[in-house]
Structures are given as C-alpha cells and as structure tokens.
Amino acid sequence: MAVDTTKNAVPFEMAQIPGPEMAKAYNTKVIGAILKKAKRPLLVVGAELFEDPVMFDKAIEIGKMGVPIAATAHTIKGFIERGYTENVHMIGLHPLTSYLRFKDWQGLDGEGHYDVVIFMGIFYKFASAMFSTLKNFNRDIKRVSIDRYYHVNADMTFGNLAFNPDQYHEAVDEVIAAMAK
C-alpha cells in the first residue's frame, strides 16, 4: 500500500507560518507525475544526505532518469564517492536560489531555465527560506519538496515523515517509480 504522504501537513518548525499561501501535501503518485511531466526539472540536494546515505542512491536514480542534480553544500563529495557525476553540478543552495529567481538565467548547463525544482535532504529552515524566495520572486518555477518535512513554502510537498525513515524512503521510491512510468 502506498505511503500516505498527505498526513501530518504541519510546518516542521511549528512557528513557520508564512501567510495565506501554504503548501499542499500530495501523494507520491501525483508528485511523480508532475515531475515526469516537467520539461526542465532540477533536483536540488543538500547535506542531510550524509546523515542518511541511502538517499544519495535515490538521488542518483533520479539523476539517471535525466534530471540534472544541483549538489549543494559539500554533497558533491557523496556523488564522487559513488562514482556518479554525470549531470551533477556543485553549487551552494544560496547562489543557486539567487540565480533561480532571475527569469533570464540560463541554468547550470547554459541550456535554459528550469520549470520545476525538487528539494531533498536540505536543512529545513534554509530550504524553507529559499522556497520562500522563489514563492515571492519567481512564481514561474514549480517548487516541489520530496524531503522528509512538510515544507510550507513549497507548492507540493510531503507531510512530515521525519520520524519514520522507512516510510520516507518508501515514499521517495514511489515518486521515482511514478516518474519512471
């Protein structure tokens, strides 16, 4: 049975209530379908992957499906250690978000802007604020979180799965499966 990722949709840091526009929690199939439909998606991964190394493998799975990966903080190291650097770009989350807010930016590969960004494994408060930048200053990009937290400033997110790693892993696997369909 699919993991219910729509439950527990309260901000991970409970006081993180931005205003009238707050994220909806979606099930894995819907998120997977949206990501599959994306023309220029970008997977953005952060240093929390080191705390749950299996997530590197899941990121690589997504990368192998043709989704370029922005390896923020020092996560590039995890990809190098796993021998996968094909479409992995080393860049800080902060400058990346800064570029993403400009509509004339041509992307990490110079091939054009992105229509969907997918955050995973990023320190919660930091990711939330970067989502907020995009939410307010470039609304052309769809903001998707497949992190273990309910991300209030995303467009689409899971509910909180932070305390159930198995369910969280399963949920990400389901998204990947839906993308592959």
Partner 1 sequence: MEKMEGSFAVEDMQNVQINIGAIVKEVEEWDQPMGPFPYPSIATLRDWDFKIMQRYKIMYSPICDRCTLCTYGPCDLTGDKRGACGIDQAAQQGRIVLIACLMGATAHCAHGRHLYHWCLEKFGDLPINMGDEILVDAPITRTIAGIKPKTLKDFGPVLSYFEEQVSQLLACTHTGQEGNYKDFESKALHASMLDHLGMEASDIIQMIAYDMPRGDENAPLVECGMGTLDKNKAILITYGHNLAASSEAMFYTEDNNLWDKVDIGGVCCTAHDNTRIGEGLGYPKEISEKYKDVGTKAKVAGAIGWWRKMVRGDVMDCVMVDEQCVWTDALAECSKLKVPIIATSEKIMLGLPDRTNDPVEEIVDDLVNFRMPGVAVLDPAKAGEVGVRTAIAVKPKRAAEREADPFLSEEDFKKYAESCTYCHACQFVCPPHIKIGDVVRAAAEGNYEPLSSTYEVCVGCRRCEQACPQDIPILSLYAYANKEYIRDHKFKMRAGRGPVKDTEIRRVGAPIVLGTIPGIIALVGCGNYPNGTKEAYDMAKEFVDRGFIVAASGCMAMDMSLYGDEEGKTIWEQYPGAVDGRNICNMGSCVANSHISGATIKIATIFAGRNERANFDDMADYTLSKIGACGVAWGAYSQKAASIATGCNRMGIPVVVQPHSVMYRRSYVGRTDKKEDWEIIDARDGSKVYCEPAPEHMLYIAETKEEAMLMMAKLCFRPSDNNQGRMIKLTHYCDISMKYFGCMPPDWHIYVRHASDLPLKWKEDMMKELETKHGWEIDWKRKAILSGPIRKMDVSFDPTNIERKIRVKK
Q: Which residues bind partner 1 (CB under 8 A)?
A: 12-16, 18-21, 46-47, 72-74, 76-77, 80-81, 89-95, 97-99, 101-102, 105-106, 122-126, 128-130, 132-133, 135-137, 139, 160, 162-163
* Closer Cβ to partner 1, 36 or 77, answer by number: 77
* Closer Cβ to partner 1, 130 or 178, answer by number: 130
Report residue 90: phi and psi, to 5°: -90, 115
State in angstroms the smallest separation of the CB of 148 from partner 1: 11
Q: Do 125 and 151 meet the contact criterion of CB atoms below 8 Å apart?
A: no
* Closer Cβ to partner 1, 122 or 172, answer by number: 122
State in angstroms the smallest separation of the CB of 177 from partner 1: 28
CA atoms within 13 Å, Cβ hemisphere of 134 = 27
State in angstroms the smallest separation of the CB of 25 from partner 1: 16
- DSSP codes, 43-96: EEE-GGGGGSTHHHHHHHHHHHTT--EEE-TTTHHHHHHTT--TTEEE--HHHH
* Closer Cβ to partner 1, 32 or 145, answer by number: 145
* Closer Cβ to partner 1, 89 or 169, answer by number: 89
State in angstroms the smallest separation of the CB of 120 from partner 1: 13
State in angstroms the smallest separation of the CB of 159 from partner 1: 13
- Hey, what are 110's tokens? 């110079």
Pairwise CA distance, residues 167 & 58, whole Å: 14
Largest CA distance in the chain: 44
Q: Do 89 and 70 meet the contact criterion of CB atoms below 8 Å apart?
A: yes
